[in-house]
Amino acid sequence: MRNSDNKTNSKLNTILIIVFVVVFIILILFSFGYFNSSKFPTEFIDSNEEAKRKHKRLEALIEKQLATKTKIEKKFKFVFLWVRIGLILMWFGLLGILYYFNIVKNFSEALTYSQVSIIIILIFNFITFGTIGSLKNFVASIKIKTENMVYGKYINLDEKIEINKQELSKIESEIKK
pLDDT in tens, 115-128: 888 888 777 777 77
Residues 163 and 80 occupy one common structural domain: yes
Domain, as residue range, for 145: 49-176
Residue of 17, 57, 29, 27 lying closest to 164 (CA atoms): 57
Is residue 174's pLDDT more than 90?
no
Cβ(55)–Cβ(168) under 8 Å? yes
13 and 98, same domain (yes or no): no
Answer yes or no: do 99 and 30 share one domain: no
State yes or no: pLDDT of 39 exceeds 60. no
C-alpha 162/C-alpha 95 separation (Å) is 48
The answer to whether 103 touches 113, Cβ cutoff 8 Å, is yes
Residues 17 and 57 in one domain: no
In a domain, 40, yes or no: no
Tell me if 42 is assigned to some domain.
no
- Over residues 1-22, mean pLDDT: 74
pLDDT of amino acid 37: 52
pLDDT of residue 43: 44
Best CA proximity match to 31, nearest among 15, 39, 65, 133: 39
Q: Is the pLDDT of residue 90 over 90?
A: no
Query: Distances in Å between the alpha carbon of 94 and those of 105, 112, 173?
Result: 14, 13, 63
| Mean pLDDT, the chain, integer | 80
Q: Is residue 41 part of a domain?
A: no
Shared domain check, 159 and 96: yes
Residue 118 corresponds to which amino acid?
A: I
**pLDDT per residue as tens digits for the range 48-74:** 778 888 889 999 999 999 999 899 889
Q: Convert the pLDDT of each residue in 135-171 to its tens digit.
A: 677 778 778 888 888 888 788 888 989 999 998 888 8
Tell me: do 31 and 57 sit in the same domain.
no
Band of pLDDT at residue 44, cut at 50, 70 and 90: very low
